[in-house]
Amino acid sequence: MGESIVLIYSILLAGVYAGLMYRYRRDWLATPIFRLQPHFQPHTRITVLIPARNEAAQIEDCVRSVLAQDYPADLFEVIVIDDHSEDDTAAKVTSIADARLSLLSLAEHLPPGEHQAYKKKAIELGIQKAKGELIVCTDADCLVPPSWLSLLAQYYETESVKFIAAPVNFYQESSAFEYFQSLDFTGMMGITAAGIRGSYLHMCNGANLAYARDAFYAVDGFRGIDQRASGDDMMLLQKIAARFPGQIGFLKSHAATVRTCAQPNWTAFYRQRLRWASKSRDYPEWRATVMLGMVFLFCVQILLSILLVPWLGWLAVGLTFSLFLCKAAIDYWFLRSTAQFFQRQDLLRYFWSAQVWHILYIVSVGTMANLVSRYQWKGRTTR
């Protein structure tokens, strides 16, 4: 009787997982590729916000890549918000002489204390000072491509959207662990596009997104979602999606992809993913939590089947391999399409090792996110 229950439960989870991945792949492929029109004449005023904390090593390259846009210089500004940095972040920014660039100090408006949502406060301050109607956000450790703003503006003007999610990829990998993160991230971008295309899962990444300033104020900004340090991206997106249904878009363009580096070691990676996972309980959209939960349960079942070997013997061994191969086949089918789009077929060489890493991190991070309420990030203990 117990064996039958285990088998039925495993088959059901595998079926749900396969169904999810099939839908993700279908909607990813159905998302149209967006290309810049050759004679596009923009009229949207843009403000680029870059919150930064202790980013002296990367901030100058980031800002210069934004200032090097092919977008009309009189139609965009760049605001860096220094979030209580303890290094030379502010000095690096002020060393760049450009009339389009300004620096704000969060410390002058929000002294250190018992706060949680510093990044949200930084973005709020930037929006208060912004002159643009379209708010574009990226992170201080990112590099943006030359046509980034042109693509965002054209998409905004032609698609009549209030919020734009856009792709982020890792680059300059130097280890198998970093290649795993890159492959995993191409999949996350595919799921992001698919969920927005089908209007059943609203995800995004704060390193590459844009939204109408009036939409931000229409949903009262971060009010109601400021109990978490993170969530300036997905939680805000879900608020705007609820207020403006059908006006959310994913900019599927290789030329609009923002690049950043993968986490260098397991500790940094674990803290990053724990920060992301910890906010899932507070998502305004319950479907996002359910879908992420089903992936978590399927990965848990794969590991549990290994633990059942002493009791179920070869049945548990066969079940483990069957579930693992089922996940691998489905994932490869999906990841091959995302890797091809981002011209990163080289990442598929790390597919099998990535499968093991993926299962382990999904289970460990998913478990800890529900047990641990605080974590370390950029020298702060937050929740």
Q: Tell me the per-residue pLDDT of 162-191, one tens digit each, with 9 for 90 and over.
A: 999 999 999 999 999 999 999 999 999 999
Helix (H, G, I), strand (E, B) or coil at 362: helix
Quick check: 284 and 242 in contact, CB under 8 A?
A: yes
In degrees, rounded to 5, the angle at the alpha carbon of residue 16 between the alpha carbons of residues 353 and 241 is 95
pLDDT of amino acid 179: 97
For 69, the token pair is 């846009």
- pLDDT tens track for 101-151: 999 999 998 876 656 688 999 999 999 999 999 999 999 999 999 999 999
Q: How confident is the model at residue 1 (pLDDT cuts 50, 70, 90)?
A: low
- pLDDT tens track for 30-49: 999 999 998 889 999 999 99
pLDDT of amino acid 376: 65
CATH of 34-265, one of 3.40.50.2300, 3.90.550.10, 3.30.465.10, 3.40.50.920: 3.90.550.10
Distance of CA 158 to the CA centre of its chain: 24
Strands 248-250 and 380-382 come out as unpaired
Q: Please check the confidence at residue 322 and state whether its pLDDT lies above 70.
A: yes
Residue 280 to residue 286: CA distance in whole angstroms? 9
